[in-house]
Amino acid sequence: MSARALFAHPRAGGAALLCALMLAACGGDDDGQTGASAPEDSRAASPTVLHWTLPEYVAPDDWAWNLPDYFPPPRVPADNPMRAEKVALGRWLFYDKRLSGNGTQACATCHEQRRAFSDGRARALGSTGVVHPRGAMALVNVAWNATYTWANSALPSLERQIPNPIFGTEPVELGVSDDAVAVVLERLRADSRYPAMFAAAFGTEQISWQRIMQAIASFERTLVSVNSRYDHYLQGKATLTDAELNGLRVFHEAQCDTCHGGPNFTDQFISADTREIRVRYHNVGLYNLDGQGAYPADSEGVFEITANLADIGAFRAPTLRNIEVSAPYMHDGSLATLEEVVDLFAEGGWHILEGPLAGDGRASPLKSRLVRARALSAQERADLVAFLKTLTDPAFLTDPSLSDPFQEGAR
């Protein structure tokens, strides 16, 4: 039954050791087994793990990323190199409401700088008034993400992701429909600023959707946050309080850093230096509707993409940088505060006592093995929250180069 009982018997002990070795051979330092990048049998009993081997990459020296030495530069697609004029154009487009079909929303409507480019809502609200199943994600160091959105193994770059909010209909975000697709381009052409900006960014005045999306991607790559108090602490320029240091200790000891590790506090991190990565998604036991780990049908995690039943409720571990300002939390905004989030991980899941979402997430069979009761005291939980708040980067949240250029123009 237990490992101890097995080890009491010499032969059984050998079997247990063999099992342990096999696990190690699978690279089982985390939940799930290692799989091919496109599994032959996507309905395997283990969560999907994408095993990517990336080509060698030398970061071009044409862009100054201004990163600390522990934060290597990102990979930038060869067909969309960084360029100051393109970033400048992308900033205008990111804040331009004319980019939505009915002219009511810009990217920035759901991605506000002061909230680390999230919107403070539990669930995002699209341009046509549709409430989304998930919340708008914070946009922090997105240039380094392995995959995009809350849980989508089909979207490995910003350029591949951006058509989602622009053209998507399930749900409608910016709502650029058949009727709007040419109209939006006409609106931009009619603004005397844009032709010159497109020419500066791309060489000619042509305004196309591809250029719009490339420019926005370039701007989004400049949403770089590496100046938190924690960064200054790492660099010897600041000290942390005893509570924060204790929170940091708890963060490591409770293995938070297995999924929220590395320079960007996420396991989905690809830099110029990355040659190999196992891309994982994690079920943290937020829901367990049926005792089998079911999540609400409107948002079932990366299962929606992989169709692997073991991926139900599995989402990308987002960066924790600036997490203080991007409440509410989790994919559906169901946890209002960082204290609640820490409680979830300290208890090994979330127990909902009543209502349509009732269920004991702590007992979910789909939950990551790493999410388990941690016996953290109230003080340790409070200190963990204190540590997380050292990851807030006020300069990022107020950086004028990332702010709304339309407001700037009005001043």
Q: Which is nearer to other proteins, 92 or 295 (CB)?
A: 295
Structure tokens at 51: 């095993």
- Summarize as ranges the residues that interact with other proteins (CB under 8 A): 37-40, 42-43, 48, 50, 52-55, 147, 149, 152-157, 159-164, 166-170, 176-182, 208-211, 213, 270, 304-309
DSSP string, 310-353: GGTTEE-----TTGGGS-SBSTT--B-SHHHHHHHHHHTS-EE-
Q: Which is nearer to other proteins, 69 or 170 (CB)?
A: 170
Q: Which is nearer to other proteins, 61 or 178 (CB)?
A: 178
- 138 burial via Cβ count (<10 Å: 0-12, 13-18, 19+): buried
Q: In angstroms, what is the minimal distance from the CB of 246 to other proteins?
A: 39
Q: How far is CA 59 from CA 119, 158, 202, 213, 226, in A?
A: 32, 17, 21, 22, 18
Q: Which is nearer to other proteins, 178 or 354 (CB)?
A: 178
Instruction: Measure the CA–CA gap between 184 and 203, rounded to whole angstroms.
Output: 21
Q: In angstroms, what is the minimal distance from the CB of 243 to other proteins?
A: 40
Q: Which is nearer to other proteins, 169 or 377 (CB)?
A: 169
Instruction: Measure the CA–CA gap between 336 and 167, rounded to whole angstroms.
Output: 30
Q: In angstroms, what is the minimal distance from the CB of 377 to other proteins?
A: 41
SS (H, E, C) 262-312: CCCCCCCECCCCCCEEEEECEECCCCCCCCCCCCCCCCCECHHHHCCHHHC
Point out which residues pair with 282 in neighbouring strands: 315
Q: Which is nearer to other proteins, 143 or 166 (CB)?
A: 166
Would you say 142 and 155 are in contact if contact means Cβ atoms under 8 Å apart?
no
Q: In angstroms, what is the minimal distance from the CB of 146 to other proteins?
A: 8
Instruction: Measure the CA–CA gap between 346 and 224, rounded to whole angstroms.
Output: 30
How many other CB atoms sit within 10 Å of the CB of residue 318? 23
Would you say 247 and 303 are in contact if contact means Cβ atoms under 8 Å apart?
no
Q: Which is nearer to other proteins, 189 or 232 (CB)?
A: 189
Would you say 288 and 349 are in contact if contact means Cβ atoms under 8 Å apart?
yes
Instruction: Measure the CA–CA gap between 122 and 309, rounded to whole angstroms.
Output: 26
Q: In angstroms, what is the minimal distance from the CB of 58 to other proteins?
A: 16
Q: In angstroms, what is the minimal distance from the CB of 275 to other proteins?
A: 10
Would you say 27 and 18 are in contact if contact means Cβ atoms under 8 Å apart?
no
Q: Which is nearer to other proteins, 69 or 79 (CB)?
A: 79
Instruction: Measure the CA–CA gap between 234 and 67, rounded to whole angstroms.
Output: 13
Q: Which is nearer to other proteins, 1 or 38 (CB)?
A: 38
Structure tokens at 365: 């069979």
Q: In angstroms, what is the minimal distance from the CB of 219 to other proteins?
A: 16
Q: Which is nearer to other proteins, 114 or 275 (CB)?
A: 275
Instruction: Measure the CA–CA gap between 213 and 166, rounded to whole angstroms.
Output: 9
Place of tokens 């970061």: 59
Q: In angstroms, what is the minimal distance from the CB of 400 to other proteins?
A: 29
Structure tokens at 254: 């409770």
Q: Which is nearer to other proteins, 54 or 243 (CB)?
A: 54
Q: In angstroms, what is the minimal distance from the CB of 217 to other proteins?
A: 10
Q: In angstroms, what is the minimal distance from the CB of 143 to other proteins?
A: 13
Q: In angstroms, what is the minimal distance from the CB of 150 to other proteins?
A: 11
Q: Within 13 A of 232's CA, how many CA atoms are on the CB side?
A: 13
